[in-house]
Amino acid sequence: MTQLANRVDTVAPASAQPSAAPKPKGPFCGLIDSVLVHDPVLETFQGSVNAHAAQGIWTWVTRDICNDIIPADRIASGALTPAEVEAALPEMLGRMKAALAQGLADVEGARRLSAQLGGDETRQHLPTVMLALRNRALLGKAQAFGKATNSISDENALAAAIKAMPLQEPALAALVFHAALGQAGNPTILVLAAIKLSGAATEVSVRRAGLGPLLDAYIAHAQNQLRFFEGNGPFADVDLICRALERFHKLVRSLTGYIEFSRGSQATATLSAITKYVSDRLEPRLKEVVTDLNQAMRRRENADRLDTEKLFAAVGGIFLLATVRDCRDSLALNSVFEQAWNQSGQALEIHIQRTMDTYRQDPEDANTIARLDAVIQMAQVRFSAEYAETLKRARHAAEKRS
């Protein structure tokens, strides 16, 4: 839906050139990336692993227990391949299992293991990481299944596929569902299949049918979008924020729109917490939209200067505002949104008229051209494509008269 990447060149900052240096590999060379989640993590779920904890475990493995089979120089240079890690996994998992058993033997062993890993939280993720590594092939199949759901229209076939998941092993099922959901473009279809299998559209029924890990996967993936709302400054990637907000909305509405959750359930509390987290970070941005717009379009009479940072922020703010409008059912921003939406429309209409009048007087002025390009783009997002086309025709008529 968002098209912020297509904004006018005069508004967008220059992109950095790609580096020729090798990109650093993630923990375990990406073998368990499908179940990694990133900070901030408000609630830990059985089917996912905090990426920071996974990196701590990977560091412990390569530094302390497998430094003789995983070359440190290849890790440092980024040259280590997934195939090399695959080849070393049987021995690696054996040593990890032995180290974990020793760490669980007594309090002192647990303390030493936690110290080596970098904390108790990382140690708690160790069994999940080992389970994911042992079932890495199954995670790959789960991702393929997730992609396939984008084209499956037969609800019965989808329900049968879900029923074939390892539901009798909740820990493994949680990993499988998390990996699958990451590839599902239309998450609603999986919820509908889960309801069909459980026989009722309540959280209690779905969990009783062994599909609780699927619900948890939805919340974990929604939570994993929180990191994208952390960026600040005029050149924060608003397009990325908008895409994350759309994904967050799809995941949350797939649950709350079809599943009846108990008021005091853990899922309800977590959904409430992550909704508040997203809303709290979007609220200041929405309040700045009109201010950024006014400052970006302000023309200095004596020595006019184009404020590209404010212009960029204004365009991005309008795109974000439109995305919030489409996703507001999953947010707690109604009053703030309504105010920003109405005020931005009024301000934009004023600036469109002023900029068009200035353009008619001097169609060669570069600053006016840049502002006109920006307000036409913002008008398309805030009002409609038809309104933007009308402005383009008015601009073309002014060019012909000049």
Q: Which tens digits make up the pLDDT trace of 338-389? A: 999 999 999 999 999 999 999 999 999 999 999 999 999 999 999 999 999 9
What is the per-residue DSSP string for 210-232?
T-HHHHHHHHHHHHTTGGGG---
HSE toward the beta carbon, residue 396, CA cutoff 13 A? 6
pLDDT for the residue numbered 154:
81
pLDDT for the residue numbered 401:
82
What is the per-residue DSSP string for 281-311?
HHHHHHHHHHHHHHHHH---SSS----HHHH
Token code pair at residue 58: 């990977």
Per-residue exposure over 145-174, b if at least 16 CB sit within 10 Å of its own CB, e if not: bbeebeeeeeeeebbebbeebbbeeebbbb
Whether residue 5 has pLDDT greater than 70 = no
Q: Which tens digits make up the pLDDT trace of 205-231? A: 999 999 999 999 999 999 999 999 987
pLDDT for the residue numbered 8:
36
pLDDT for the residue numbered 233:
60
DSSP letter assigned to residue 65: I
By the 8 A CB rule, do 330 and 249 touch?
yes
At 184 the three-state DSSP class reads coil
Instruction: Please report which confidence band the pLDDT of residue 36 belongs to, taking 50, 70 and 90 as the band edges.
Output: very high
Measured distance CA(274)–CA(166) in Å, rounded: 29
Mean pLDDT of 37-42: 95
At 49 the three-state DSSP class reads strand
3-state DSSP helix/strand/coil % of the chain, to nearest 5: 70, 0, 30
HSE toward the beta carbon, residue 135, CA cutoff 13 A? 25
pLDDT for the residue numbered 7:
38
Q: What is the pTM of this model?
A: 0.89
Instruction: Please report which confidence band the pLDDT of residue 237 belongs to, taking 50, 70 and 90 as the band edges.
Output: confident
Measured distance CA(308)–CA(93) in Å, rounded: 54
Q: Which tens digits make up the pLDDT trace of 296-347? A: 999 887 788 999 999 999 999 999 999 999 999 999 999 999 999 999 999 9
On average, the pLDDT of the chain sits at 90
Q: What percent of the chain has pLDDT over 90?
A: 79
Q: Per the omega criterion (within 30 degrees of 0), is the bond before 40 cis?
A: yes
Site of tokens 């012909």: 400
Q: CA-CA distances (angstroms) from residue 179 to 34, 43, 141? A: 5, 18, 9
pLDDT for the residue numbered 232:
66
Which stretches of 149-237 are DSSP H helices? Answer: 155-163, 170-181, 188-198, 203-208, 212-223
pLDDT for the residue numbered 14:
35
